Structure 1
Amino acid sequence: MYAHNYKITIVCLKVRHRKFYNFAMKYLLSFSCILVLSAAQHENIPYQDVSDICGTCVCLTAHDNDKRYHHLLSCTTKKFKHILARWPEEFGKSHDSVDIVATFSGNSIELLQQLPATNATLTFSCRHCGIKYLQAPTFMDVPYIRRLDLSWNEITSDELTPDVFRGPYRVTDYEPIALTDLDLSHNRLHALDRNLFEHTPNLTKLNLSYNELKVLNMPTVLALASATELQELDLSHTAIKTLTMSVFKTLVNLRILNLSGNDLTRVPDKLQLIGGSLISLNLAENPIERFTEESFVGLKSLQRLNISYMPMLKTVGKNAFSSLETLRRLYCAHNPRLQEFDVESLTHSCNLTNLDISHCALTSISLIVNVGNDSSAALTALAKPWPHLHTFKTVGNPWFCDCALIQTMEYIGGQPESRQDMQARCDAPYFLAGVLLSNLTSPYICNLKIPKKYKAIVEEPPRFLRKRYIVLTVITAAVVVSVGVLLGFVIAAIRRRLKRDDFGVEPIRYTSVRSSNLSAFSHGNTNSILVNGNGAATSSA
């Protein structure tokens, strides 16, 4: 019984051992095949010749005070079609505690191959190379790559997969790479893989500008939301119309957001989700028509705001900037339809240093200043609303230079431009048109009595264009023409009468005898014809 059970156990163990052995052999064989295929694939793709590469490219080496070596390899515009298989020998064999900056920009590299292995901290640039394909994993042998610039290429969404950024394999998983700065601008991306950044957990700066994203679909939103360490995000000129709150929900470290050049008609909702960290917001070149009190609510850390070059912007409404207490720089220039700007709401931004409202359609701005007509000394004594303001640009607006405007300008202060063509000028009233605002003072303007409406003074036209002379000319011409026509009729009538009467004389008629006799004979009047003795015929009297 026991012997029988023992035999059965031995048989089972042998079967299990054989199965395990077969599984292990199959696994090893598959893994070996993968390695061989990958190695063969890696070797079959040609690389650029490395021999005398420092004679073809620029190789520079320097070291800092900590004896850390910095190597530069510049192979720009060398008509390369491939990158190098290894780093130059001049960089040494060991790259520990070494920085390498390599650029292959301006070449014709259609396929970006795996970068040559190094343990150095790497900065790699391959701009304007016409890259269409990426050999995944492209950066497996450079785990310490920090900055990567692949802008101005032809990379598509299908080619940009998570495996491109896969690091070296360790035990049970792929290790991440150290990438922090990624520039993919000016490519052909229309969406992102939802797991695109799973191997780049340290990514802090991402540039996706000038890609036709148009709509941020769910995979793209998930990809952006997964990069939780992002501090700078550039989505400018991507033709997007909206941004959902899902994008910002996890980006709690975002400091700089560029949304310029898109089709946004309003400030994206839920920006307050990143209000604690966001310090710079660029909304320029969007078709937004107005900013209201709710537009920038919750952006309690914002220091720089750009709302310039907006073709549709008409109004910056009341209290639009009231919540921006930390604002330092405001750029609201080149908005051709902007006629209303609430400068009063900026008084909450005590640390404002730069204010640009140039080249808009503003005729006036005003702050509440109660100093009376003789205001120069009083305005000087008043505390400035922005004591740190050193740049205040107002040129290019059709300013109506009345008392309120000049008082506001003096109260705000700021250094005027040194060049006169860069200084603001009055557009109205007419007797101040073209005068520099910096040359006007509030006592002078406030004591002027400027009528609300002006009657335009029309200069008298030349004499030949005056109304009375035109009328006299028409009458004279009519009289001359009438007299001429009348004289013509009279002369024609006289000539016709004289021709008919032949001037009162009867004309003499001449008839020959021959013609007379023949005429009588032809009419049969023979009695009037006499024959003389000589036989000649004569007519009777």
Structure 2
Amino acid sequence: MGGRVITSVIFALLAIGVNCQDETTVKPESNAVANNNICKLCKCADNKVDCVDQGIATFFTTVEWEGLIDFKPEVVNLSENRFTNITMIADLTIEVLNLSRCSIEFIENASFRDLQEMRVLDLSYNKLTTEKLSPHAFEGRFAPEEYEPLASMRVLNLAYNDLHSLHQDLFEHLPELEELDLSGNPLTTIDHVTLIAISSLPMLKSLRMRSCQLAEIPSKFLHTPRYLERLDISDNRLSAVPQELDEAKNLVYLNLNQNPIIELDMTSEDYPGFPRLRKLQELHMCNMPKLRRIGMGALAGLESVQKLHISFNPSLSEIDPKALARPDDIGETYDWPAVKELYLKSNNLSDVDSRLISRWDLLEKVDVSDNPYLCDCSTQWMVDILTPVVETKGGNASTMVCQEPIEMRGYTMKHLHEIHRTMRCVDKYGHRPEKDGAILLGTLIGVLLAVPIMLSLMLLWRHGYFAWLGLRPPVDVSRAFYKRAPADDSY
């Protein structure tokens, strides 16, 4: 009897364990979701639908999307598939929709109409063209008087498509859009309709137009987006700092990397410095092969700049000590911005002037490595003051290496600091210390050779060997002054 009870208890426990295991297995998704076509192809869990690189050639139908209503997806990733057309999506709670790298050529009107909670839409790396990308693709639900906007939309990524221009009404249904990425589209120029399209986004805070083959920024382009804070116009064909930037009054981040800008000079019309950008905090000017000089006051308009990235510019050999200095109204005193991070890595600088910023000890990060430094008295301050600053801020002063003069080549400023080395000055004629030894040695050799040569010549002359040249020896000269008296002379 007791054995039967024990057996019954064991079976009961096993049954409970199996049931618990089944519940744990099934819990992440209901049977309805598990049987849905989308979740058969994709991974559905934690309110996310992951369909990355599943070879999907046809976009899901509205009925298939409706099968996800109970699942309540918030993030849907369909990137790296093979469908070319986008059709209407059912009323879902999707907040982030990734449709990148899918060879998309066409988006059906109102495809995203019912995604009223969608905040982020990624359409990058597709084949959308100006002709096929219609404003109706982004229209919202239909109201009696007009189409309602997609009010929750904040981020739209159209990067690396084939857009040569934008329809002027492309964003009319996205009035709250804050971030727009147009990078990698062959715009070449910002034409009138493109200007209108971007100007229709009053809430825009971030605009990326990297690698768009732009040679200039048109006037009034940045006038309407009054809240614009971040602008990336890197890897274009800009040959000078766009003066139209002064329209972006709230700009805090600017990326000008990889543009063929030659120099910044406040006295030049062709290559002016920066306009007044009072709120700009971070500037990137890196990988500019033609940039050779930053003149006096060229960065003075950046009153609040905190992070300066000016690195990997192989021709940049001069940064004026007062490049950042902002003169007062009278011009007698100067103010410098409170720079916190300074990056001058891998340029062609022979020195960094101590007057470039006001307080080196207040820097939080600094990197001035891999420049061909001239190690003489003009850079003594770098050895004595800047080197310990670099070391205490997490940098590596061992990469601050002397290139000139030749006698100092290969020495690191860290080593010079450790041995308390005092370096010589280049004299006012530009003579370098490394030539002093050669000059002294040459002079000594010359003197040593000249003395025996002169003595030999003197001996040869005394013995009359140069008479044929009209150079008589001293004996002949004395005889010329003595003449024997005649025998018949009497006194």
Shared fold (TM-score, shorter chain, > 0.5): yes
1:210-249 equivalences under 5 Å are 210-249=184-223
1:122 to 85, 95, 102: 95
In 2: Cα distance, 1:115 partner to 1:384 partner: 58
Gaps of 5+ in 2: 1-33, 267-271, 326-334, 440-491
Aligned residue in 2 for 1:51: 36
Check the 8 A contact 2:140/2:147 in 1, yes or no: yes
* Contact 1:103-1:126 at 8 Å conserved across structures: yes
1:162 and 1:196 in contact (8 A); partners too? yes
CA distance in 2, matches of 1:335, 1:190: 30
Measured in 2, the distance between the counterparts of 1:449 and 1:246 equals 51
Counterpart in the other structure of 2:123: 150
Q: Which residue of 1 aligns with 2:354?
A: 367
Please say if residues 406 and 442 of structure 1, whose CA atoms lie closer than 8 Å, have aligned partners that are also in contact: no
**RMSD (CA atoms):** 2.7
The one of 105, 113, 124 aligned to 2:87 = 113
Q: In 1, are the aligned partners of 2:122 and 2:158 still within 8 Å (CA)?
A: yes
Aligned pair partner of 1:437 in 413, 419, 437? 413
Aligned with residue 310 of structure 1, among 285, 288, 293: 288
Aligned-partner SS, 1:73: strand
**C-alpha distance in 2 between matches for 1:267 and 1:243:** 10
Separation of aligned partners in 1, 2:66 and 2:138:
24
**C-alpha distance in structure 2 between counterparts of 1:203 and 1:319, whole Å:** 36
8 Å CA contact retained: 1:351, 1:387: no
1:443 CA displacement? 10
Which segment is superposed worse, 277-286 or 348-357? 348-357
State which of 328, 339, 364 in structure 2 corresponds to 1:390: 364
Separation (CA, whole Å) in 2 of partners of 1:366 and 1:149: 46
**Deviation by residue 1:145-179 (Cα, 9 ceiling, x = unmatched):** 21000111111111111101111101111000021
Q: Which residue of 1 aligns with 2:140?
A: 167
- Residues of 2 paired with 1:221 and 1:368: CA distance? 41
1:388 positional shift: 3.3
Contact 2:205–2:230 (CA<8 Å) still a contact in 1?
yes
Q: Which runs of 5 or more residues in structure 1 are unaligned?
A: 1-48, 62-70, 370-382, 459-541
The 2-side partners of 1:167 and 1:447 are apart by: 71
Give the deviation of 1:394 after TM superposition: 1.6
* Alpha-carbon distance in structure 2 between the residues aligned to 1:53 and 1:174: 30
Shift of 1:250: 0.6
Partner of residue 299, structure 1: 277
* Partner Cα distance (2:243, 2:355) in 1: 33
Q: Out of 377, 390, 398, which is 1:415 matched to?
A: 390
1:443 to 1:422, Cα distance in 2 relative to 1, 3 A: closer
Bigger radius of gyration among the two: 1
Partner of 1:406: 380
Q: How many Å separate the matches in 2 of 1:421 and 1:83? A: 56
Q: CA deviation at 1:402?
A: 1.3
CA deviation profile, 1:2-22 (whole Å, cap 9, x unmatched):
xxxxxxxxxxxxxxxxxxxxx
Provide the residue aligned with 2:299 in structure 1.
Answer: 321
Query: Which amino acid in 2 is paired with 1:75?
Result: C
Q: Distance in 2 between matches of 1:422 and 1:102?
A: 48
2-structure distance, mates of 1:237, 1:358: 24
Deviation at 1:450, TM superposition (A): 5.5
Matched, 1:72 2:48: yes
The letter for the 2-side match of 1:187 is N
Q: For residues 391 and 410 of structure 1, do their structure 2 counterparts lie closer, same or farther at Cα, with a shift above 3 Å needed? A: farther
Task: Write the mapping of 1:249-260 to structure 2, written as runs, cut at 5 A.
Answer: 249-260=223-234
Is the counterpart of residue 265 in structure 1 residue 239 in structure 2?
A: yes
Q: Secondary structure at the match of 1:230?
A: coil
CA, structure 1 residues 258+391, in 2 after alignment: closer, same or farther (shift >3 Å)? same
- With normalisation by structure 2, the TM-score equals 0.72
> For 1:420 and 1:440, how far apart are their aligned partners in 2?
14
Query: How many Å apart are 1:193 and its aligned residue?
Result: 0.3
| Residue of structure 1 in register with 2:6 after alignment | none
Contact 1:50 1:84 in 2 (8 A): no
Matching residue of 1:133: 106
Describe the SS at the equivalent of 2:362: coil
- SS in structure 2 of the partner of residue 286 of structure 1: coil
